[in-house]
Structure 1
Amino acid sequence: MKKIYVDGENLTMNDMISVSRNHVKIALSKKGRKKVFESRKNLEKIVERQRVVYGINTGFGELCSVKIPPSKIEELQKNLLRSHAVGVGNPLSEEIVRAVLLLRANALSKGFSGVRIEIVEKLIEMLNKNVLPVIPEKGSVGASGDLAPLAHMALTLIGEGEAFFNGERMKSKDALKKAGIKPLKLESKEGLALINGTSVMTAVLALSVYDAEKLVKNSEIAGSMSLEALKGTDKAFDPEVMQVRKHKGQIDVAHNLRLLLKNSEIIKSHRNCQKIQDAYTLRCMPQVIGASKEVVDWVKKVVEIEINSATDNPLIFENESISSGNFHGQPIAFAADFLGIAVSEIGDFSERRTARMTDSKLSNLPPFLTKKSGLNSGFMTTQYTAAALASENKVLAHPASVDSIPTSANQEDHVSMGTIAARKAEEIIRNVEYIVAIEFICASQGIEFHKPLKPGIGVQQAYKTIRKYVKKLDNDRIMYPEIEKIAELIRNGEIVRNVERRVGGLR
């Protein structure tokens, strides 16, 4: 059976998805094992020299000047977890917690945290046996890293707090017992190494940017379907236009739209009509969706760096311990906020196309996409839902990273709010999946009115996929399960896969 080996250097986004969503097991590589062992030896040398080192023999935060005697080291680490486990709110989802455990194991295996091999192995064992700590979603300010949520994670290692085992919530000690896992006793620095890092915000953002990549492609497909329904033109996507403004995202989206609309009988039927140009939400898809695509690509690069980074403090090197700031979540905070803004804009664009299709004065289609309007409301209120979600996203897209509230008596006088930013981005993506799902359904209905003319080859394939689950609307029916189903197809990639089998890979 496939395993993913962690060493702090080579973890990929696809590895994260395999572990968090597909339950692929992980193991510590030989290289990672060696680095963890050497790092622990380096820390023990520092302790033997009786140096004062933050978090090893001192208090934490503003209490860093308080020296702790050797006899109290284990108690210090245990107290750290207990005092910092103050998160509130709903538990993080199973897939996020799995990603958190993976990222923490990977970060510690990089070999700069000074923990024993047993710590990394215990995280791996919990993950592989599906013992998932209950981690409340709220309470992190994003520096020093994700202290509160990671404290909840670490409590489970020592048999305290709560955990889910095979989906059932219980005390951690009971979950460990059921899984055949023995709780650990912490030694010097290990509590701090477990909780001082960006693993929660990075886990949330990593899963979100993976979903955002799929969502961008779905928005291109939905947009091309709407263009067919509204009898728009593909002329604005001409390669000559793209070559005089060489933004990669714009060029790629235009390329994809040309593939999707290839051989469209609908477009051909009105090629010489009197209409001069389309509305912006059709004509400017390469420029707007392309800009969002470039943001998603940039955020992915930030995440790929962070998932293989040491974000602990202090960091343990061969001859010294260095107190530094790798725990600060600002890179993730900025990336998460930017992702939220970019994806929110995709939703705005999609909702406006849905509104245009349902407005007979703009679309030249039947009112609300039904021939029996009046007796039937058709797709009138699906647009309401899209509008509500788009409006909600405008609130959620306000950056969290522009705010900072000092903590720990001003010792930690600037924080990133990165975990808030990441959670907001995740919520925006869920909302936009619904907005684009509504566009898919409305555009499929709009295309019905142009039969027997056929749309482009990519649009045809998307239409066939939608029609497997959502039939043509003749009379009003309950539609919320259909919206949920198409949103699921967006998330699981079915629409994109089917279309790419027909037209080739979308950029």
Structure 2
Amino acid sequence: MTVVIDTSDDLTLDNVARVAWMGEQCRISDRALAAIRSRRDEFVEFVEQNADRHLYGITTKHHVGAKSVLGADSRAEFATRLPSTPATVGPRLPERLARTIVLARLADVLNGTACLRVETVHRLIELLDSNLPPVPARGNGEPGDIIALGHLLRTRFDGTLEIGEGMALINGSPVAAAALGDAALAGRHRITVMEQVMALAAVAINAPAAHYAPELEAAWRDEHQAEALHNIRRLMETDDHSSELPYQAPVSFRSGPRVIGWARRAQAAAEECAEIALSASSNNPIFVGPTVHPPLGAILSNGGYHNSLVAPTLDSLARSWADTCQLITAQVNRIVEDPGGLVATEPESQVSLLYMTSAGWAEEARVAATTSLIGLGGAGQTDTGTPDLLAWRKAHDAGAALDNNLAVLGVVSSHALARKGQAVPHRLAVLSRQILQRFPVGSAPVDYGAHLESVVDLLARSRDAAAAPASEFANT
């Protein structure tokens, strides 16, 4: 299928999932192309009438070159190329994130604040049908996204542009918007998996149903915690309560719905902020047309390159995922050490030793969940930097640690239940059975690594689909 983009409102997470994650094609509507062509004409007319003024990156060069207006020949030469940008090295961003950057770059064009020619817009869209240049994930210390955009766009566009297009392509914060969108999509189905696996763990520890009672939904006064409670309670629902503890389960099991509730709130905020960032203009400068600023429009220098929503929101996601990861390790330990747990039911310490692996992933998540503050730049005009790709990497690492730790908890819980011969509630039975198919009871230690990786893949399946509302072991 093809995603048709008509306005910046179409740069939604769902459309990003289709184009960037699932590889669907994308095109700009004829109506949007007509508006882009008209806005380009307005922009060129404005520049021609104001060629003697300081118009950043248009009649001047960039950075320190902004202080001098270019002559006609110098302006024409500068117009053909992308302004110079620094480079970095290291591991590249995933292809899906690079594709999201291309989509996010369209926001200013569709909003009429970045005035590309229609031919340039077509070439930008065509990037989505090609192997994108590698974009390093680390060492991005600039204000805005010029390092990443330079890596992504320079080889395709340098030397082929006309007045104003270089700055329209290279400045702004589309990489920040894309990074937040990518993390929000990665987290969408992670919540569902968290509830499913932690419900399975609660069954394995024989947690009383009272810990998840419906009365708590009103008592806690938070819609996200209420949803977590409701989902976990429904997953654990059974007619047989004979195995339940007559006393409280450990703290980590009682805290679970509240921590997942916070993760749900962080996820909802991330999706809201991502939708804003993906569709918003971010360029510096932006052009506003004659209908807004008669008679010819205006060029406005601004701070659009600094998307202040992105790094704090990514940090919040990383924190929620890392907190959950700590809770999971506590639950793994309790299920292993319980008098009826794995240590007591295995013939020797085997799968129960995965508590060590769980501890390792919890520490990985803890290290990732640090604050991403505004960076200090140079001594001149560029005196701060934006930490958005750094924050994305930390959120990515915290999320990956959580995914792996969820797999450990799923294996330990399923093995504990199987060793005890305890029935699994019907809404969790498919999940438990599939985990045991991938990591069977009695597996030889030489196979543990491959089996555990298979469980990680199982739990990640719905998340990586990005647009699928349910997994094969959905809450039915």
Q: Equivalent residue for 2:366?
A: 394
Any stretches of 5+ residues in structure 2 without a counterpart?
290-296, 464-468
Amino acid at match of 1:410: G
Q: Equivalent residue for 1:209?
A: 184
Report the TM-score when normalising by structure 2: 0.91
The alpha-carbon deviation at position 398 of structure 1 amounts to 0.7
The alpha-carbon deviation at position 288 of structure 1 amounts to 1.0
Please give the alpha-carbon distance, in whole angstroms, between the structure 1 residues aligned to 2:442 and 2:76. Answer: 66
Change in Cα spacing, 1:381 to 1:454, as seen in structure 2 (3 Å) is closer
Any stretches of 5+ residues in structure 1 without a counterpart?
161-183
* Aligned equivalent of 2:58, options 33, 56, 59: 56
* Aligned equivalent of 1:418, options 374, 384, 388: 388
Change in Cα spacing, 1:496 to 1:2, as seen in structure 2 (3 Å) is closer
Change in Cα spacing, 1:101 to 1:485, as seen in structure 2 (3 Å) is same
Change in Cα spacing, 1:75 to 1:353, as seen in structure 2 (3 Å) is farther
The alpha-carbon deviation at position 85 of structure 1 amounts to 4.4
Please give the alpha-carbon distance, in whole angstroms, between the structure 1 residues aligned to 2:347 and 2:351. Answer: 12
Q: Equivalent residue for 2:305?
A: 327
TM-superposition CA deviations, 1:486-506 (whole Å, max 9, x none) = 222222218962332xx43xx
Please give the alpha-carbon distance, in whole angstroms, between the structure 2 residues aligned to 1:298 and 1:99. Answer: 19
Aligned partners of 1:107 and 1:307 also within 8 Å: no
Please give the alpha-carbon distance, in whole angstroms, between the structure 1 residues aligned to 2:178 and 2:353. Answer: 35
Please give the alpha-carbon distance, in whole angstroms, between the structure 2 residues aligned to 1:45 and 1:465. Answer: 64
Change in Cα spacing, 1:98 to 1:354, as seen in structure 2 (3 Å) is same
Change in Cα spacing, 1:16 to 1:74, as seen in structure 2 (3 Å) is farther
Please give the alpha-carbon distance, in whole angstroms, between the structure 1 residues aligned to 2:212 and 2:9. Answer: 41
What SS does the corresponding residue of 2:220 show, helix, strand or coil?
A: coil
Q: 1:70-81 to 2 correspondence within 5 Å?
A: 70-77=72-79, 80-81=82-83
Change in Cα spacing, 1:433 to 1:47, as seen in structure 2 (3 Å) is same
TM-superposition CA deviations, 1:264-303 (whole Å, max 9, x none) = 63xx0134x5x42111211121111111111111111000
The alpha-carbon deviation at position 32 of structure 1 amounts to 2.2
TM-superposition CA deviations, 1:462-489 (whole Å, max 9, x none) = 1122233221236534211122222222
The alpha-carbon deviation at position 314 of structure 1 amounts to 0.6
Q: Equivalent residue for 1:470?
A: 439
Q: Equivalent residue for 1:234?
A: 209
Q: Equivalent residue for 1:43?
A: 43
Amino acid at match of 2:458: L
Please give the alpha-carbon distance, in whole angstroms, between the structure 1 residues aligned to 2:273 and 2:417. Answer: 40
TM-superposition CA deviations, 1:219-262 (whole Å, max 9, x none) = 11111111111111121111112212211111000000111011
Q: Equivalent residue for 1:384?
A: 356
- The root-mean-square deviation of aligned C-alpha atoms, in Å, is 2.1
What SS does the corresponding residue of 1:4 show, helix, strand or coil?
A: strand
TM-superposition CA deviations, 1:331-364 (whole Å, max 9, x none) = 11111111111111111111211122222xx353
Q: 2:409 matched to 1:439?
A: yes
Q: 1:142-157 to 2 correspondence within 5 Å?
A: 143=143, 145-157=144-156
* Aligned equivalent of 2:341, options 323, 344, 365: 365
Please give the alpha-carbon distance, in whole angstroms, between the structure 2 residues aligned to 1:74 and 1:352. Answer: 64
Change in Cα spacing, 1:364 to 1:77, as seen in structure 2 (3 Å) is farther
Q: 1:76-95 to 2 correspondence within 5 Å?
A: 76-77=78-79, 80-81=82-83, 83-95=84-96
Please give the alpha-carbon distance, in whole angstroms, between the structure 1 residues aligned to 2:155 and 2:252. Answer: 50
TM-superposition CA deviations, 1:46-87 (whole Å, max 9, x none) = 211123211101122233112222222354256644x31412
Aligned partners of 2:366 and 2:398 also within 8 Å: no
Report the TM-score when normalising by structure 1: 0.86
Q: 1:54-203 to 2 correspondence within 5 Å?
A: 54-77=56-79, 80-81=82-83, 83-128=84-129, 130-141=130-141, 143=143, 145-158=144-157, 185-203=160-178
Change in Cα spacing, 1:396 to 1:6, as seen in structure 2 (3 Å) is farther
Please give the alpha-carbon distance, in whole angstroms, between the structure 2 residues aligned to 1:140 and 1:474. Answer: 45
